[in-house]
């Protein structure tokens, strides 16, 4: 019976992947955390109709990060509210 190539990975016992993942997550969280000022800027930019790509050019982020921030921080209602205020000011 031919079972093909069998590979058994050898992982050193000193390697703790959970610890490595936690260190990477801690670094990412500290390095790329959205401040309230950044979120307010994102709300204002989206309210005037800029795309995520255009917001990313203004903010030091990627368009994917901008989209994720809107979803994660539930900014959709705040953007719609700010947009409604801007529309009302333009009409009056």
Which one, of 48, 75, 27, 30, lies nearest residue 66 by Cα?
75
| Percent of residues, the chain, with pLDDT higher than 70 | 72
Q: Classify residue 61 by its DSSP letter.
A: S
43 alpha carbon, distance to own chain's centre = 14
**pLDDT tens sequence across 8-35:** 766 666 666 677 677 666 656 656 789 9
Domain boundaries, the chain: 35-91
More confident residue, 31 or 90: 90
């Amino acid at each position: 019976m031919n079972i093909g190539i069998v590979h058994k990975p050898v992982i050193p016992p000193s390697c703790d992947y959970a610890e490595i993942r936690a260190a990477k997550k801690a670094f990412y969280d500290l390095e790329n955390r959205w401040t309230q000022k950044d979120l307010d800027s994102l709300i204002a930019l989206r309210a005037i109709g800029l795309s995520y790509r255009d917001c990313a050019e203004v903010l030091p982020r990627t368009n994917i990060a901008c989209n994720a921030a809107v979803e994660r921080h539930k900014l959709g209602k705040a953007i719609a509210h700010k947009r409604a205020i801007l529309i009302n000011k333009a009409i009056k």
